[in-house]
Structure 1
Amino acid sequence: MLAIARQKAANTGEKNVSFEVGADVPKQGPYDVVMGYSLFHLVPDMEKRFAQIHELLPKGGYFITKTTCLGQRGAGIGGALKSLAIRIAIPVMQLIGKAPYVRSFSVKELEHAVTAAGFEIVESGNHPKGPPPAHYIVARKV
């Protein structure tokens, strides 16, 4: 996917675009936008990463993320059962080496971490609604 993205950016002639692997945060900016998808539940130091991203952006720059909130309990019987199954399955899979580190947090906890890093949330929502929800956030550096 990174190779395809890099090639598409090269084909447009755009030179101010960077695609990084995994949880690595670039060391220098500034960037107008930093995006991170399906990532922050897999890093133990999410708050530190948000602070690093904040430093890479100028005032008014955007941070966009979509992150699974595994700590958000599902609604109704079906949602509650699915949430419980996920919370049981992940540690078992980790024990047998089939799952990486996974952090559980709620939508509220994720949004708090984003705002605590110095961002204001411009728009957010769950897509899909879950359970567990994948929470989409567009935040601006203040």
Structure 2
Amino acid sequence: RVRTWLSVDQDVLEIGCGTGTTALQLAPSTRSLLATDFSADMIAIARDKLALQPVRGLSFSVADADTPAFAQGTYHAVLAFNLLHLVSDLDHTLSLAIQALKPGGLLVTKTPCVGEMNPLIPHLALPLMRAMGKAPHVLCFKGDDLQSAITRQGMALVSVERHGTRGKDIRAFIVARKPL
């Protein structure tokens, strides 16, 4: 689905790329794709994958989504998959991602909306797992909250979808455009 929003004349940034699997799949649909993650170990795995399966225009770099690290107005699209619920400050992270976009650029995200899960998970299971050191900090917002956070940054929602069985996926797929 993401490829329909990309083109071979675009420079793309992915934040929170993990081991680079998605970047390896999407990079051929772009001019260049810089895939980043705050974990040096994840980036090392991604670079090993890239060495085994070279893709023109794809590079990996260690970078924190919560720290200003990207030139403003550089990218046609910023991708953030399975990441925004793991940041410490959603508005701050979105602001930085959007600053990296060119005017008219797209933010494309598929984000777990943990606040839509069984209430026992965000209110009991996650706090217990965090207390035992078995889970990271997780923001427990709903899809409407995520959409509001994106529009607070001045972005226009272009598409909001759910792809799971009968549309019940807790992961909201959102595409938003930065004003010209």
Shorter-chain TM-score above 0.5: yes
Q: 1:36 aligns with which of 77, 80, 91?
A: 80
Partner of 1:140: 177
| Kept after mapping to 2: 8 A contact 1:64/1:138 | yes
Q: 1:56 aligns with which of 100, 113, 127?
A: 100
Distance of aligned partners of 1:3 and 1:40 in 2 relative to their CA distance in 1, 3 Å threshold: closer
Distance of aligned partners of 1:8 and 1:41 in 2 relative to their CA distance in 1, 3 Å threshold: closer
Query: Within 5 A, what are the aligned runs for 1:1-142?
Result: 1-2=19-20, 5=23, 9=27, 16-22=32-38, 24-25=64-65, 26-29=69-72, 30-72=74-116, 83-87=118-122, 88-128=124-164, 129-130=167-168, 133-142=170-179
Tell me, in whole angstroms, the C-alpha distance in 2 between the residues paired with 1:65 and 1:15: 20
Partner of 1:78: none
Q: Structure 1 stretches of 5 or more lacking a match?
A: 74-82
Distance of aligned partners of 1:8 and 1:32 in 2 relative to their CA distance in 1, 3 Å threshold: closer
Total equivalences in the alignment: 129
Identity of aligned residues (%): 32
**Higher relative contact order, structure no. (Cα contacts within 8 Å, ≥ 6 residues apart):** 1
CA shift for structure 1 position 125: 1.6
TM-score (norm 1): 0.79
Tell me, in whole angstroms, the C-alpha distance in 1 between the residues paired with 2:177 and 2:25: 28
Q: Structure 2 stretches of 5 or more lacking a match?
A: 1-18, 39-62
Q: Which moved more, 1:121-130 or 1:52-61?
A: 121-130
| Kept after mapping to 2: 8 A contact 1:6/1:19 | no
Partner of 2:173, secondary structure, is strand
Partner of 1:118, secondary structure, is coil
Deviations 1:41-93 (A, max 9, x none): 111111111111111111110000011111125xxxxxxxxx12312211110
Name the Cα RMSD after superposition. Answer: 2.4
Tell me, in whole angstroms, the C-alpha distance in 1 between the residues paired with 2:150 and 2:26: 30
| Kept after mapping to 2: 8 A contact 1:33/1:61 | yes
CA shift for structure 1 position 7: 9.8
Amino acid aligned to 1:2: G
Deviations 1:92-135 (A, max 9, x none): 1011000000111111110000011111010012232446x111
